[in-house]
Amino acid sequence: MRAAGYSWGHKRRFNTYADYFKSIFGERVQKVSIDAGFTCPNRDGSLGKGGCTYCNNDAFSPSYCQPEKSVSQQIMEGITFHKVRYRRAEKYLAYFQAYSNTYADLDILKKIYNEAMAVPGIIGLVIGTRPDCVDEKKLDYFAELSKKNYLIIEYGIESCYNKTLEKINRKHSFEQSIEAIQETAKRGIKTGAHLIFGLPGETREEMLQEAGIISGLPLDNVKFHQLQIIKGTMMAKQYVSNPSDFQLFSWEEYREFMIDFLERLNPRFVVERITGEAPPRFLAGPRWGLKRTDQILNLFEQRLEERNTWQGRLYNEK
């Protein structure tokens, strides 16, 4: 077939995260999540309160992630946790996942990230944040750090449409996302972005158009997942009150949509994930049965084969 000609250099039909790291490090690399006690400007009153309407960090934080523990303790417990499941992993990335992990003074950030990098086995940092929580001094610091270590800053774009960002209480604009991504990338820092599909008010066509929008940005990695209604969130209350406002994907609908999206996506982008998975006890909305992430990925790749398509097949670089 066309497999030998894929620009990412392996036979899978999209530019997968696992194969990307194998090509760089020659082996599996595992993320270790950390909750360093950060917050967000739309939680602490700087821009607003309550946070994003869909957000409940407990839904994706491992049990060892507790901000009362030091960063190094969380990492060491996380490595122990993952060694049981991923015995082949010897190298780890410290993944600062909860809330906005650049939302502090630079001196505090340096202390936290230096502590993480000092833990044996940690080869780099993954820093999740918002586009309005970086500035020139912070980005210059990360640029220096990235010269000696693997480092990527992942921005929560969530949507390319300001009407949606306002509705979900993000308190930043898509234009701010563009600026942050450009400023990060121009310093040579690896740059990632995250999008959610199925947010209230967005049509399937609008979501599909986002493939072309983000493909023109200087990104390295991208992460996607379907909207899940999580207990304890404002969105869960909105869903109960007005379920007709939500057009949530079934698994089959999402699979076909995600393939349509990948066909239009820049093939240079590494795709970290195509779905999200929250523990069933947190879900207040529809579920996809008992399918786990690895099963979903296998079914997704089977469907790519059946449709004889791949990431970037319809991508037109301008």
3-state secondary structure of 311: coil
**Residues 19-65: tens digit of each pLDDT:** 998 888 888 889 999 999 999 999 999 998 889 999 987 766 777 78
**Residues composing the chain:** 318
Q: What pLDDT, on a 0 to 100 scale, did the predictor assign at position 59?
A: 66
Quick one: fold of 3-307? TIM Barrel (3.20.20)
Q: Which residue has the tokens 């950060």?
A: 38
What does the pLDDT read at residue 58? 74
The set of residues, in sequence order, having a beta carbon less than 8 Å from that of 294 and lying 6+ positions away, is: none
> What's this model's pTM, rounded to 2 decimal places?
0.93
**Angle at 85 (CA atoms; ends 83, 89), nearest 5 degrees:** 50
Give pLDDT < 70 ranges for the chain: 1-4, 59-60, 85-88, 318
Q: What is the pLDDT of residues 197-243, one digit of tens each?
A: 999 999 999 999 999 999 999 999 999 999 999 999 999 999 999 88
- Secondary structure letter of residue 51 according to DSSP: -
Residue 180: per-residue pLDDT: 98
Crossing angle for the helix pair 251-263 and 293-307, to the nearest 10 degrees: 60
Cβ–Cβ < 8 Å for 173, 130: no
Q: Are 19 and 28 in contact (CB under 8 A)?
A: no
Tokens standing for 219? 């990104």
C-alpha radius of gyration, the chain, whole number: 19
Cα diameter, the chain: 55
